Amino acid sequence: MKAGFGTMERLAETARREGELNVIGLPRDWVNFGEVIDTFADKYDIKVNQLEPGASSARELDIAPKLRPDVFDLTMDVAVSRADRFAPYKVQGWQDLPDHVKDPAGAWYAAYGGYMSIGYDPRAVKPPATFADLLKPGYRVALDGDPLRSAAAFDGVMAASLRAGVPKPDQGVALFAKLKQEGRLTDPAKANVIVAWDHLNAARGAHHPEAWKVTIPRDSALGGYHVQAVSKAAPHPAAARLWQEFLFSDEGQNLLQKGFARPARGEAMLMKGTLDAEQAAKLPKAPGPPVLMTIPQADAAKAYIKKEWAKSVG
């Protein structure tokens, strides 16, 4: 155990004395965080204050001086750019985390990830095998928000842009521009296809199995991770670290998987026999290892979309 708390028992004891934990940007219906939060609160008798659940990653950090969260849940690009705001801490499961999804010093580390996917109504359209299939007649397509403001929508455009694993922003914009021109780019309420993270599409499919299916296109395995970090200014430093230990424990990782996320420790847990195999089998089948955009690739794509989206798609 690190950060001067000695053992796990000592950490838990100190966290209980603090009595509270401030989390931010965690909607209860996002990758099962409602159950994760309630389980942690009951297990350790700690009150969890859920600050601004709908906050984006950038918003979490911008509002932190006012709201004073203990911990952050962030997209990797935001975490990398603001790593000076975090207190390094390595959880017990640190060695199980792939090197490319954690900061070597422990400032941030991925807890869960997913693939960009296509959710569709099988009663209305045939299963799309690729993003190009969406240009065929009958598909009414929605993104999960505006790519100029929503990370999920931006990543949807980028998944459609992949060519041999390399993002080509112009190709993604061109596809959605054509859909717009044909009157088939719409909002989610009117769509029979929604481009979104697979855990969102899979959760919808679990509730409506006859009306909603999900596929990860074979040529567009764009992945993304959400990373965790402890605030340097955490008002409850022990509870903050105990929360990380819980999220990265077998129990916490399986609870995230119950929300159709892909646990960052999943491969190690599978080898150890601690991964919930029944739930793992319910995740959408992935065509291969995820393509993770580099920070320079993402920055270049954001600049391109900022310049071209409004005039090409509107």
The mean pLDDT value of the chain amounts to 95
Q: Residues of the chain with pLDDT > 70: what percent?
A: 99
> Which pLDDT does position 51 carry in this prediction?
98
> Which pLDDT does position 3 carry in this prediction?
58
> Which pLDDT does position 1 carry in this prediction?
46
Q: What angle do CA 33, 71, 57 make, to 5 degrees?
A: 75
> Which pLDDT does position 219 carry in this prediction?
87
How far apart CA 221 and CA 143 sit, in angstroms, is 17
Predicted TM-score (pTM) of this structure: 0.93
pLDDT digits (tens, 9 = 90+) for 237-296: 999 999 999 999 999 999 999 999 999 999 999 999 999 999 999 999 999 899 999 989
> Which pLDDT does position 4 carry in this prediction?
66
> Which pLDDT does position 314 carry in this prediction?
79
| pLDDT mean over 93-114 | 96
How far apart CA 40 and CA 34 sit, in angstroms, is 10
pLDDT of 2 over the 60 cut: no
pLDDT digits (tens, 9 = 90+) for 209-243: 999 999 999 888 999 999 999 999 999 999 999 99
The CA distances from residue 271 to 16, 41, 47, 207, 275, in Å, are 33, 29, 34, 30, 8
At 128, is the pLDDT very low, low, confident or very high (cuts 50, 70, 90)? Answer: very high
pLDDT of 306 over the 80 cut: yes
pLDDT of 82 over the 70 cut: yes
DSSP string, the chain: --TT--SHHHHHHHHHHH-EEEEES--TTSTTHHHHHHHHHHHHT-EEEEE-TT--HHHHHHHHHHH--SEEEEEHHHHHHTGGGEE----TTGGGS-GGGB-TTSS-EEEEEEEEEEEE-TTTSPPPSSGGGGGSTT--EEESS-TTT-HHHHHHHHHHHEETTEE-HHHHHHHHHHHHHTT-B--GGG-SEEEEEHHHHHHHHHHSTTT-EEE--TT--BEEEEEEEEETT-SSHHHHHHHHHHHTSHHHHHHHHHTT-EETTHHHHHHHT-S-HHHHTTSPPPSSSPB---HHHHHHHHHHHHHHHHHHT-
At 5, is the pLDDT very low, low, confident or very high (cuts 50, 70, 90)? Answer: confident
> Which pLDDT does position 161 carry in this prediction?
97
> Which pLDDT does position 28 carry in this prediction?
96
Check if the beta carbon of residue 160 is closer than 8 Å to that of residue 291: no
How far apart CA 67 and CA 6 sit, in angstroms, is 29
- Tokens matching residue 245: 């230990």
Phi, psi for residue 121 in degrees, rounded to 5: -90, 105
pLDDT of 9 over the 60 cut: yes
pLDDT digits (tens, 9 = 90+) for 182-205: 999 999 999 999 999 999 999 999
How far apart CA 155 and CA 119 sit, in angstroms, is 15
Q: Report the DSSP pairing between strands 20-24 and 223-231.
A: unpaired
